[in-house]
Amino acid sequence: MRQRKLGAAGPQVSAIGVGCMGMTGGYGPVDPQQCITTIRAALDLGITLFDTADFYADGANERLLGRGLAGRREQAVIVTRGGVRSRTPGGPPTVVDGRPAYLRQACDASLSRLGVDHVDVYCLGRVDREVPVEDSVGALAELKAEGKVGQIALSEVSADTLRRACAVHPVAAVESEYSLWERHLEAEILPAARDLGVVLIAHSPLGKGFLAGELRAPEELGEGDHRRNHPRLQGTNFRHNRAMVDEASGLAAELGVSPARLSLAWLLGRGPDVVPIPGSRRIEHLRDNAAATELTLTAEQQARLDGIFVPDRVAGSRHPAHRRIANADRVA
């Protein structure tokens, strides 16, 4: 497995990681034991980066990851996020809370659920508009000084916010959505990250599974699958976007690879400071994703994909309105 580095002082990680969100719901029913088996299979493949959050299934995702890594903690680089909470116990994460006292409480709770004494990267899940980012990052710096946190990261921030954060303490990574059909960060955020020596952890690199090419119609999404509410996967938007996936699938067929592998190879080719974290609940998908690290696209093939997925051509916004958090410093 090829390696990439999370920031100037950060750890070496596998060039591709695992996003764990779907292992506790979100995409419909899931078998926890199957997910634990997948986590262990990822370690066997040399995948070391695992991304979770305390607001995934009200902490259940962290507990599951902790079980999956039990006995093999030293082989993994754990990224977890805090700073988003529910208004009511057990409710959906709807409130950003960047207060230093809350972040300390959230970090301690994450360590307990994961069953570890430290996390390798602690990520501010969203920036609280009501709390200066300098205060939030200062709190994370204190946790790092205490040995509870290895490196600091931010999620879904603007270029200006990232610069302000880095002025307080070095930031190893910024996590944001980045894929063939979501490229908003190329204008300002990615250049700023590169100027600052910050690595990009690309979540949803397969467009929530859509770029894998297996979803043929919105009706195939089952009950409990949050993608049923995704603007890009509804009605005419779905059909419009599916045509682009079909075009890309043609190139994948020419190369003898899956559309998912092609999509991830395109992303890996954006630079050595981009680390995709596709979600994987099944071992066969995990292996196919990992194989993307061995596929190097030519400049012509990269340009062909760029020409298919022109940003203005993608139909629909990247977030359902009801999933937007009112007090978050959200971008795009």
Residue 175 contacts residue 145 (beta carbons within 8 Å): no
The yes-or-no answer on residue 27 being catalytic is no
Strands 77-82 and 49-51: parallel
Instruction: Give the 3-state secondary structure of the chain.
Output: CCEEECCCCCCEEECCCEECCCECECECCCCHHHHHHHHHHHHHCCCCEEECCCCHHHHHHHHHHHHHHCCCHHHCEEEEEECEEECCCCCCEEEECCCHHHHHHHHHHHHHHHCCCCEEEEEECCCECCCCHHHHHHHHHHHHHCCCEEEEEEECCCHHHHHHHHHHCCCCEEEEECECCECHHHCCHHHHHHHHCCEEEEECCCCCCHHHCCCCCHHHCCCCEHHHHCHHHCHHHHHHHHHHHHHHHHHHHHHCCCHHHHHHHHHHCCCCCEEECCECCCHHHHHHHHHHHHCCCCHHHHHHHHHHCCHHHCCCCCCCHHHCCCCECCCC
**Options 27, 56, 122, 178, the catalytic residue:** 56
d(CA 160, CA 167): 11
Nearest 5°: the CA angle 235, 239, 240 is 110
Active-site annotation, residues: 56
